[in-house]
Structure 1
């Protein structure tokens, strides 16, 4: 397994259930998540990550207009197949240390992408982390698997 990837984009939204918008730099707060993001809080799904590899899969299935954040991911990644990381894996992302807490999620109501083509990658290929050490993260930062 490749042990290093990179951040392509940071995305946030002020409410749940919508696509996230790109921001230049995210301030990730210990035991909370991304400052100003609707998913932040004291729980196990503080930050969501999805690889460009998964987004490209959807593009190859004919879904058009997919921008970073379309799947409501906080961090769009490249170079690591994030959904293959075991729960408990620690990642150094920018200045932060994050721990993988969940792989995939059940979608409570089908998102627009699932409605459009009948499938979404987030339930199987998106992952969630909690922030162990806060700090700044921006596009281009390395993602390093610590253990």
Structure 2
């Protein structure tokens, strides 16, 4: 049975020299919960969708289409073995550490009932220098990109409570094949895949839809 292994938040931001804005809340820690999960509002003005969770860079993180970030414990275990590090739940900045469900092959627009909340898969996590600085690993962005294990962002369709141990039920799978992994490759290593993201409709973040249209226009003009 797929479950929320842990619910993780950062209760304060931390000043660091490797973050673009000088602050980060990437090192999230497990809490007992339950916590309210709600739509936070537009990106740039809305923070995390998880009650009490802090964000260091609102321009790059948070907002309705990045309200909740999930990462699978199975993928953390992969990296733990690869890197020889002890990785705690929440160390990749995820709000929910899951067990028993494949986030990499989840479809954009797929809907999960988690606790009493309804979440919708919207995008993969794109690695940044803050992520690399947090782990203290040279070449981490490239290595993470090559592995195609990005975890998934969610928007909150129905507000509710989430706690560790809550069952995860997939209640809807859309009729397309745009997975989190395909989205990740389109954004970072295979830009020719970008037009396919439009097949996932408004589950895709507006900024990404705008990027696809701009890239397509440039290709038509060239």
Q: Classify the TM-score, shorter chain.
A: 0.7 to 0.9
Per residue, is there more helix in 1 or in 2? 2
Q: 1:71 to 1:6 in 2, by over 3 A?
A: same
1:25 partner SS: coil
2:156 partner SS: strand
Higher mean displacement: 20-29 or 91-100: 20-29
Q: 1:41 to 1:107 in 2, by over 3 A?
A: closer
When normalised by structure 1's length, the TM-score is 0.85
1:59 partner SS: helix
Q: 1:112 to 1:97 in 2, by over 3 A?
A: same
Q: CA separation in 1, counterparts of 2:34 and 2:3?
A: 15
Task: Give 2:51's aligned residue.
Answer: 35
Unaligned runs of 5+ in 1: none
Task: Give 1:111's aligned residue.
Answer: 133
Deviation, 1:28, is: 2.9
When normalised by structure 2's length, the TM-score is 0.58
Q: 1:85 to 1:127 in 2, by over 3 A?
A: same
Q: Give the CA RMSD over aligned residues.
A: 2.4
Unaligned runs of 5+ in 2: 14-23, 41-48, 56-60, 173-222
Please, which of 17, 26, 29 is the counterpart of residue 18 of structure 1? 26
Per-residue CA shift, 1:61-88, capped at 9, x if unaligned?
1332211011010000011111211111
Higher mean displacement: 10-19 or 112-121: 112-121
Higher relative contact order (CA 8 A, sep 6+): 1
- Superposed, 1:106-145 pairs within 5 Å as 106-109=127-130, 110-113=132-135, 115=137, 118=140, 119-120=143-144, 124-145=149-170
- The answer as to whether partners of 1:113 and 1:120 remain within 8 angstroms in 2 is no
Q: CA separation in 2, counterparts of 1:67 and 1:25?
A: 17
How many positions carry a matched residue from both structures? 144
- The answer as to whether partners of 2:38 and 2:50 remain within 8 angstroms in 1 is no
1:145 partner SS: strand
* Greater gyration radius: 2
Deviation, 1:104, is: 2.6
